[in-house]
Structure 1
Amino acid sequence: MIDLATWNLSIPEGSPPTTIQTSQLVEGFQDQYFRADSGTVFFWAPVTGATTANAIYPRSELRETYSNGTQRNWLYSAADNKLAATLTVNQVPSTGKLVIGQIHAKDSTSPMVKLEYQYKTYSSTGNIVAKVRMRPDDESGQVITIATGIKLNQSFSYLIHLSPAGVLTINGAGYQWSSPISSTWSDKPLYFKAGVYVQDNTGYPTEGGTVTFSLLDIDHI
């Protein structure tokens, strides 16, 4: 089973979009956008879904919390910070792009890390691509291809690890990339996110992103 006791959930419905609180997830919440059963967690986000403030794309996405439901934010120097996942991408929108994991910054519209699955129709496979801002004031960031050749419905794993020394390591489908980040991140509260954040907002209501996680785990050690 995936422990949902340290997450809340944003679903692409309502204005503003609805947040499902930690206690509701623990009690077994499910709907068309989110379902947790048989040891897996299923996410669906249509391209026509509602979007959160300052976002142009819909998401069905978990956000890190404490067990009492309050939002958890952390400084990277306080612990070894890890987000580990095993998942399959089942459906992609016409752009082929889904964000499947993030390190976000509190009170910022731009995350430190966005981990994307990018599907290529010509090869019928996808790449795992990390978009990383090395500094908080970095507008464009770096784009790093972590792994290639991952088919739809093929299980793969990733690990996003930010050490107390400020070294960011991303593992994906057996490949690894690592780099120190700027110390200017050191006073910025951060938090993990995971789920399906479609990088598309046009198309039919049946178009969107579907992802199924069989492992999803946060550690601050």
Structure 2
Amino acid sequence: MKFTTSLMTVVLATAPVVACSHPVSTDSAHLVSAASTRQDVGGDVSLSGWDLTLPVNSAGELSGTAAVLHPAAVDAPWLTRTSTGGLEFWAPAAGAETAHSGHPRTELVNASPFTIGGAGHTLAATVAVTQLPIATPDIVIGQIHEPGPVPYLLLRYESGRVFTTWRTSVDGSTKAGRQQIISGIALNSPFSYTICANIGHTVDISVTYNGITKTETVTVPTAFVGTEGRFQAGDYQQASTSTGPDDGGRVIFTALSAN
């Protein structure tokens, strides 16, 4: 395990899968069974194949440039293991930040990048948001990020609504759209999502809650087709001001996979 100050990628294991436009692999190289492969901490959600961005710097202080654990590991109080094997993410509203963001995060970054618009790739998870930051009650729980400063597509939970936002330019100069997928999800209520980066020019985003699945399809802007993408998942809270040390975002993942 080591600290660095450059943003990398992290991903977990065994989540429910919603049908995508491409086949979802069940190859153990992609979907890691925590029961048989975990070497760091016992539990149902594996950290194998991920790095972890922290809301503290390399000295453990809530300021400066965010540190990254290579590879990801449980690191209290930012990432802890629940009694049932899930992962609880805590990101304070005030803390260390990555180079191109003003929002502290505790977030996994997948170590296996892919070509956007190439072979199909899927991020799938089951989550429950248990706390929202006060100033900006919005947490990014999954995303497709390209190697530069700009995330292409974000999946967000905001005051009971799950929605996606995306950009059309790789330099971040334009923010193309925002689309609500589902609403009425209270805090502490588990729901599942998939982000399916399909072959060609589409991404399917599905959210399932209380047995109801809603899906939206986003067209990949030409500027992003053929660029390198990576999945990220966790607690990327969107507040940039804090009311105190207990202000921030908290999310529990009980399943997570990427292929």
Cα distance in 2 between the residues matched to 1:158 and 1:165: 21
Name the stretch that deviates more: 197-206 or 131-140: 131-140
Matched, 1:159 2:194: yes
Match of 1:47 in 2: 93
Distance 1:172 1:110 in 2: 24
Question: Does 2:56 match 1:13?
Answer: yes
Structure 2 counterpart of 1:142:
177
- Matched residue, 2:33: none
Normalising by structure 2, we get a TM-score of 0.74
Q: CA deviation at 1:210?
A: 0.3
Task: Write the deviation string for residues 71-126 of structure 1: whole angstroms up to 9, x where unpaired.
Answer: x321024321100010100000112111111100112x22111111001xxxxxx1
1:129 Cα offset (Å)? 1.1
- Pick from 57, 70, 89: which aligns with 2:129? 89
Which has the larger share of strand?
Answer: 1
Instruction: Report the secondary structure of 2:184's partner residue.
Output: strand
Aligned partners of 1:77, 1:48: CA distance in 2, in Å? 36
Give the structure 2 partner of residue 69 of structure 1: none
Runs of 4+ in 1 over 6 A off after TM superposition: none
Normalising to structure 1: TM-score of the pair?
Answer: 0.86
Structure 2 matches for 1:41-190, cutoff 5 A? 41-65=87-111, 72-94=112-134, 95-107=136-148, 109-119=149-159, 126-136=160-170, 139-173=174-208, 174-190=213-229
CA distance in 2, matches of 1:168, 1:188: 14
Secondary structure (helix, strand or coil) at the match of 1:53 reads coil
Give the fraction of aligned pairs with identical amino acids, expressed as a percent.
30
Q: 1:135·1:181 contact (CA, 8 Å) conserved in 2?
A: no
SS at the partner of 2:223?
Answer: helix
- Paired position in structure 1 for 2:23: none
Task: Report the Cα offset of residue 135 of structure 1.
Answer: 4.7
Q: Deviations over 1:147-194 (max 9, x none)?
A: 100000000011111111221110113211013312332221110100
Q: Displacement of 1:42 after TM fit?
A: 0.8
8 Å CA contact 1:73–1:189 kept in 2: the answer is: yes
| 2:56 partner amino acid | E
Deviations, residues 19-75 of structure 1 (Å, cap 9, x unaligned): 1112x52xxx3310001353201100011111111210100000011xxxxxx3210
Task: Give the match for residue 41 of structure 2.
Answer: none
Structure 2: stretches of 5+ with no match in the other structure: 1-43, 58-63
Structure 1 equivalent of residue 230 of structure 2: 191
Report the count of equivalent residues: 202
Query: Cα distance, 1:133 vs. partner?
Result: 1.8
Q: Report the Cα offset of residue 134 of structure 1.
A: 4.1
Task: Please say if residues 73 and 106 of structure 1, whose CA atoms lie closer than 8 Å, have aligned partners that are also in contact.
Answer: no
Distance in 1 separating the partners of 2:222 and 2:100: 26
